[in-house]
Amino acid sequence: MRHSALFAVAFVLLAGTVRAQQIPQAPLGTTPADTATEGPKVAAMTPRQAAEMRADLLLARREYEAAAKAYQTILIDDPHDALLLIHLGVAYEALKQLDLAERYYKLALRVDKKSSDALNNLGTLEDSNERYGKAIRYYRKAIAVGNAKAAVYTNLGYAYCAIREFPKAMDAFNQALKLDPNVFDTRGGSFGTIQQLRSSPDQASLDFTLAKSYAKLGDAEHAARYLKRARDEGYKDFLTAEKDPDFALVIKDPRLQEVLQRQPAYAGAPPKPVTN
């Protein structure tokens, strides 16, 4: 990513300064040419690179209004940079100025019709307005153009959960986990140029679906974590996990057994004793 490269350049420049301070003085009678060492020369950042790194830092620090102004200034001279347009959209989405966010995501798509990040982010805008069908179409387009990140699949899964199409949601979550096993361990929000959702109108059903996805992969730790969340959030059928084939690989794990044997208060029955 562009901002990663800029950080790398800055680091190299700093390291070069430190090394220069550590070079011993040349002995008397020698010239700089005699003591020169061979090595690659690092060029200083251009004003454009420095301005973009500053804008990226403002965005990372969640100073969204300042970041938006910084990106706008850069775009005056380079209005056809798709990544800058997406970053600007991300800043406006964080500021809840969704019309402006949509405008810049669509401008990015005009520049780069295969931008999966721009398509994904348009999907999150539709998702936030509960237009799940449109959101799903954007997510599927983002996947179709290629190079879709794991977050796109998680967003697709969330949208399917919202319309209670849980098998399709589970397929999307499984694809996300194949790309990034830790994708659900990160907090939602903006990650560079991509937006990732973390909520659903039916959170209990969503968490049960996630538990199934992790269980199918044999990940008992995460399966138990999300099964517990589903139970505590009111998923009354959480005990179906005992006979669900998707849980077969992990159902005997003590962590899942503990979740299944501790019934919540809404179940109307006293908790079962935990057995070893």
Structural domains in the chain, sorted by start: 44-112 (1.25.40.10), 203-267 (no CATH)
- Provide the phi-psi class of 24: left if phi over 0, else alpha when psi is between -120 and 50, else beta: beta
The pLDDT of 189-197, averaged and rounded, is 77
Q: Helix, strand, coil proportions of the chain in percent (round to 5)?
A: 65, 0, 30
Q: Mean pLDDT for the chain? A: 84
Hey, what are 128's tokens? Answer: 């936030």
pLDDT at 192: 72
Whole-angstrom distance, CA of residue 125 vs CA of residue 118: 11
pLDDT at 185: 83
Q: Lowest-confidence range among 23-37, 58-72, 93-107?
A: 23-37
pLDDT at 32: 45
196 forms beta bridges with 189
Q: Helices (H), strands (E): how many in the chain?
A: 13, 2
The pLDDT of 227-242, averaged and rounded, is 94
pLDDT at 189 over 80: no
Integer angstrom CA distances of residue 126 from 18, 101, 130, 200, 273: 49, 12, 6, 13, 46
111 against 41, higher pLDDT: 111
Q: Please give the DSSP secondary-structure letter assigned to residue 36.
A: -
The pLDDT of 166-173, averaged and rounded, is 96
pLDDT at 34 over 70: no
Please enumerate in sequence order all residues whose Cβ is within 8 A of that of 128, keeping only pairs 6 or more positions apart, or say none.
Answer: 98
The pLDDT of 231-255, averaged and rounded, is 95
pLDDT at 135 over 90: yes
Whole-angstrom distance, CA of residue 240 vs CA of residue 243: 6
**Residue 95: other Cβ atoms inside 10 A:** 14
Whole-angstrom distance, CA of residue 134 vs CA of residue 151: 17
